[in-house]
Amino acid sequence: MLGKTSIVVSVLPLTSDTDGLLNSERFALMKDGSFLINIGRGSVINDVDLIAALDSGKIAGAALDVFATEPLLAEHPFWGHSHVHITPHAAGPTNDTSAVAQIVSNIEKIERGEEPYPVWDWALGY
């Protein structure tokens, strides 16, 4: 699939299977000049490999909302890279109305002895 698209959006959770998944091997599969967006978990991307792919032009640009280390260190190369766009870990702003409705619904479920939604699945890691 990576070779069939010009924009890759990662919303992956961080698990043992996804840690470092987007690396030089996967970047090589992407179309030349592709764009990468990561709003999932920062450690899914291998930073060194992404910088190399950006420097070579394999990937034209990246929009990154999450990082392996947060906050992103002041000396991290992403800050000064002309092809990296950094957003402040706000890819999914909270809608007050829907958030309140979900909280109320979950309180009611707990009061009825039901499980709230969503629930962390320790086996899946998210």
**What residues act catalytically?**
41, 89
What would the two tokens of residue 125 be? 């890691």
Instruction: Select from 35, 34, 84, 44 the least CA-distant residue to 64.
Output: 84
> What gap in Å lies between CA 121 and CA 112, rounded to an integer?
21
> What gap in Å lies between CA 41 and CA 17, rounded to an integer?
13
Is 26 exposed, middle or buried, given 0-12, 13-18 or 19+ CB atoms closer than 10 A? middle
What would the two tokens of residue 76 be? 């991290």
Could you tell me if 72 and 43 are in contact, meaning their C-beta atoms sit under 8 angstroms apart?
A: no
